[in-house]
């Protein structure tokens, strides 16, 4: 039997190739058997306010990140009733998109919402981080994932272990969706690995052999439709 526990303070989910670190205190003892329940709030009326911090529009690499973010916003907002509204400055419920040497985000509608991106960030990275901002958690952390992937704990950096723990997201009924290897919220097989030549997990389905897409999967879109509603036709 798995032990469930509530997390009341959940700050930052780290991303694909970002720097991993502990933004919250937790015991790793018996972590393979634990399920953390995360209470996530959606953005009211699907309206997400944001501002950029530290990116220089005159710097080509920074501009690349800004374009990635704008394209990622377009991807999400064309999938469900979501709108991203730029603000000239930070406020209580304004996502600060901060230039950083790490890639990470807060989860859902929270005060002091933040999204960290590097210069020259890819569209997939921006789409993944915005997924967290909208309230989505990692596909490879859903509670039934052991049926679909086999995690190789001995090849995961200690700092990245928390990014492979099982999570139950209260915002949507994850297990009602087919497991989605193609999700933009799924890590690649090298993310957080000690030895990058060895995978951090293997896919249980021997017939799945696709490259990771840069665009949203059907499952990604269906989840934000469940949370925010479909776009009126
Ligand atoms: Zn992530």
Domains of the chain by start residue, with CATH = 1-227 (3.40.390.10)
96-116: pLDDT as tens digits: 999 999 899 999 999 999 999
Please, which pLDDT band fits residue 135 given cuts at 50, 70 and 90? very high
- The catalytic site residues sit at 129
How close is the Cα of 138 to the center of ligand 1, in Å?
Answer: 6
Closest listed residue to residue 138, CA positions, set 174, 112, 113, 111 = 174
**Is pLDDT of 29 > 70?**
no
3-state secondary structure of 64: helix
How close is the Cα of 12 to the center of ligand 1, in Å?
Answer: 9
3-state secondary structure of 174: helix
CA dist., res. 36 & res. 4, Å (int):
6
Please, which pLDDT band fits residue 35 given cuts at 50, 70 and 90? confident
Q: What are phi and psi of 73, to 5 degrees?
A: -60, -40
How close is the Cα of 58 to the center of ligand 1, in Å?
Answer: 28
pLDDT at 207: 86
CA dist., res. 167 & res. 11, Å (int):
14
Give the mean pLDDT of 167-190. Answer: 92
pTM score above 0.75: yes
How close is the Cα of 133 to the center of ligand 1, in Å?
Answer: 10
**Is pLDDT of 56 > 90?**
yes
């Amino acid at each position: 039997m798995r032990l469930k526990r509530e997390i009341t303070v959940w700050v930052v989910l780290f991303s694909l190739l970002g720097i991993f670190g502990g933004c919250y205190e937790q015991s790793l003892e018996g972590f393979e058997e634990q399920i953390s329940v995360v209470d996530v709030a959606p953005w009211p009326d699907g309206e997400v306010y944001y501002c950029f911090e530290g990116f220089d529009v005159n710097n080509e690499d920074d501009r690349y990140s800004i374009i990635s973010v704008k394209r990622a916003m377009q991807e999400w907002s064309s999938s469900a009733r979501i709108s991203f509204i730029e603000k000239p400055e930070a406020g209580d419920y304004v996502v600060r998109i901060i230039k950083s040497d790490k890639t990470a985000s807060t989860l859902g509608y929270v005060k002091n919402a933040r999204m960290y991106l590097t210069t020259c960030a890819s569209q997939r990275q921006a789409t993944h981080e915005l997924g967290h901002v909208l309230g989505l958690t990692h596909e490879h952390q859903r509670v039934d994932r052991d049926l679909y992937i086999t995690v190789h704990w001995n090849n995961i950096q200690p700092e990245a272990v928390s990014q492979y723990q099982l999570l139950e997201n209260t915002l949507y009924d994850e297990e009602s969706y087919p497991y989605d290897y193609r999700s933009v919220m799924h890590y690649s097989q090298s993310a957080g690995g000690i030895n990058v030549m060895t995978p951090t997990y293997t896919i249980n389905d021997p017939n799945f052999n696709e490259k990771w897409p840069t665009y949203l999967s059907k499952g990604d879109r269906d989840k934000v439709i469940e949370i925010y509603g479909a776009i009126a036709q």
